[in-house]
Amino acid sequence: MRRISTATLFGVDPSTDSLHRFETSWLLSPTVLAALRGLISLYIFTTIIVIWAWYGTHDDRIAIGESFSYFTWLTYWGLGFYFLFSAIHTACYARTGRSVLFDRWPRFCRVLHILLYATITIYPFLVTIVFWVLLFKPPFYKVTFPGWSNISQHGLNSFYALLEILLPTTAPHPFIAIPVLILLLLFYLCVAYITYHTEGFYTYSFLDTEGGKKSGIVTGYCFGILAAIIVIFLVSWGLIWLRKLFTGGRIKRAARDPLRGQDEIVDVQVDIQEQTEPKHVSV
């Protein structure tokens, strides 16, 4: 039986550390990738500040606090922090040729980064689909600010997720991430109903049971979202797998990376190590 360690289940096996999957791209140099991620993070946090400023100057300050009850906002914050930290990781690698922070932090931090990567390449698509299919009411915005803010949070969010699927040299998501993604959705469902019972409003209209009259419909929506998240996971996984297939494992390494120009040798060594590992499960 093949040995499958906990690190392997989460995609953080030490044998793959030299690939620098989260800090490299097959298309962009580490410096350009770091700059792109930094710019996206800057735009996301600027968007948040501008929207909050709009609320504050239009007698809607309460909406700032209420924003933390919305899944859209929570995932948007997640995108911002992912791109911020990924830009820092990539910039450090571009300068030194090493995973400076990952090498210093406990390996568990790599697991958390992989799970964060899974959320930002899956949840934004769910947000976009739910908003434009269930919540948006045409015609399109006649007021500039609401149009811009909703495109930023419900359109560009998925564009950023798609960039992170297509540009880096990341591996397909570990399937053990599926229960984590579902658990986080359940936690959010708790947040939504706690918000209703403490603040008196539903974050999303399709969660309103109307005193139990629409419990079946709400349950159907919940199971529909559950099915959607699994489908989106599989699509995201498939796109990453296809990207790896078509790019042939190419990596644009940093100038100071000691393995620059030796990727074929590294790939062979990784394959040999995976084939010769003891075949029993350990946790």
Considering only CA atoms, which of 182, 166, 279, 168 is closest in space to residue 231? 182
Determine contact, residues 165/121, Cβ cutoff 8 Å.
yes
Separation between Cα atoms, residue 273 and residue 276, nearest integer Å: 5
pLDDT tens digits, one per residue of 18-40: 999 999 999 999 999 999 999 99
SS3 at position 257: coil
pLDDT value of position 87: 98
pLDDT value of position 264: 57
pLDDT value of position 2: 57
pLDDT value of position 267: 53
pLDDT value of position 265: 52
pTM score, two decimals?
A: 0.91
pLDDT value of position 136: 93
Considering only CA atoms, which of 188, 10, 254 is closest in space to residue 109? 10
Regions in the chain scoring below 70 on pLDDT: 1-4, 264-283
Determine contact, residues 206/218, Cβ cutoff 8 Å.
yes
pLDDT value of position 261: 83
Q: What is the CA radius of gyration of the chain?
A: 21
Determine contact, residues 279/3, Cβ cutoff 8 Å.
yes
